[in-house]
């Protein structure tokens, strides 16, 4: 299903925004080659990726334990590694990629297909 999100000008390049489309919570990112969307919560321990940092025009870094995910694919680039000792938690919270959805831009508006 297709949902209208917001004006593309609301998300400058290099920034992201937490949003909702129907029942789905997501984060929309503006990278150098366009707009992308991932699930809103980190797959490790559900921290808000809307508060995450975009790294190298490629990854979102989770604010809690610093897992990094490829924004374009949802793949795990680095699993949770902070603070020291979090690896014990990782025994039960193994690597899991993020859900992603295609975002398109038409006449200055963003749409997501879920
Ligand atoms: S909650 Fe995101 S890395 Fe732990």
pLDDT tens column, 8-39: 999 999 999 999 999 999 999 999 999 999 99
Residue spans per domain, the chain = 2-113
pLDDT for 62: 98
Inter-residue contact 38 to 99 (CB < 8 Å): yes
pTM of the predicted structure, to 2 decimals: 0.96
Residue 78 binned pLDDT confidence (cut-offs 50, 70, 90) = very high
Inter-residue contact 82 to 68 (CB < 8 Å): no
- Residue 110 C-alpha to ligand 1 middle, in angstroms? 28
CATH entry, 2-113, from 3.30.1510.10, 3.30.70.260, 2.102.10.10, 3.40.50.300? 2.102.10.10
Evaluate: CB of 64 within 6 angstroms of ligand 1. Answer: yes
By percentage, how much of the chain surpasses pLDDT 90?
100
Question: What is the Cα–Cα distance from 28 to 7, expressed in whole angstroms?
Answer: 12
């Amino acid at each position: 299903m297709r949902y209208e999100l917001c004006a593309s000008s609301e998300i400058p390049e290099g920034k992201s925004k937490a949003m909702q489309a129907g029942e789905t919570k997501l984060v929309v990112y503006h990278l150098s080659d366009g707009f992308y969307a991932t699930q809103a919560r980190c797959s490790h321990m559900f921290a808000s990726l809307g508060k995450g940092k975009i790294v190298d025009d490629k990854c979102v870094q989770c604010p809690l334990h610093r897992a990094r995910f490829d924004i374009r694919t949802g793949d795990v680039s680095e699993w949770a590694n902070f603070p020291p000792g979090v690896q014990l938690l990782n025994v039960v919270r193994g690597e899991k990629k993020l859900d992603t959805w295609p975002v398109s831009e038409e006449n200055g508006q963003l749409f997501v297909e879920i």
